[in-house]
Amino acid sequence: MALGRRGTSWERLCQDALRLPGVELGTSYRTPALHVRKKLLARLREDGETVALRVDFLDRDMLLAADPAAFFLTDHYRGYPWILLRLDKVRHASALEVLERAWRTAAPRRLVAEGVRPPRSGKASR
């Protein structure tokens, strides 16, 4: 799991997630969400402080054990391949890592083959 300062925001998570090919902003259950080809990857929950993220069960168990301050479950999500994260407790790099794994699972193979776009440098290309 990535180390670093704790805490991130939905906006920052979205900004970085949109670098993944095919990721789009949308809604789910009337809340802001991230999708790839209409498949839900993550959504901001109604409280505005937690995010539901797609994750396989093995990864979910490891995340819950490794960082219970940041990752948790409610009974509603227990039977589904999702995990909840607290935006103020999670390390941004950790959240992004879980989101990228969700993308690799949900995205079509062609998009995954394109890989991750490099971050914008802020400089105009010549």
Q: Which neighbouring-strand residues pair with 34?
A: 25, 42
pLDDT at 110: 85
120 in a structural domain:
no
Question: The tokens of 1 are what?
Answer: 């799991």
24 in a structural domain:
yes
58 in a structural domain:
yes
Tens digits of residue pLDDT in 46-85: 999 999 999 999 999 999 999 999 999 999 999 999 999 9
**Site of tokens 């062609």:** 110
Task: Tell me how many domains the chain contains.
Answer: 1
38 in a structural domain:
yes
- What does residue 24 show for φ and ψ, rounded to 5 degrees? -135, 150
The whole-angstrom separation of Cα 68 and Cα 74 is: 13
The whole-angstrom separation of Cα 76 and Cα 57 is: 15
What is the domain range of residue 90? 10-114
pLDDT at 51: 98
64 in a structural domain:
yes
The CATH number that applies at residue 19 is 3.90.1150.30
59 in a structural domain:
yes
The whole-angstrom separation of Cα 29 and Cα 90 is: 23
105 in a structural domain:
yes
Find the length of the chain.
Answer: 126
**Site of tokens 């809340």:** 31
pLDDT at 31: 97
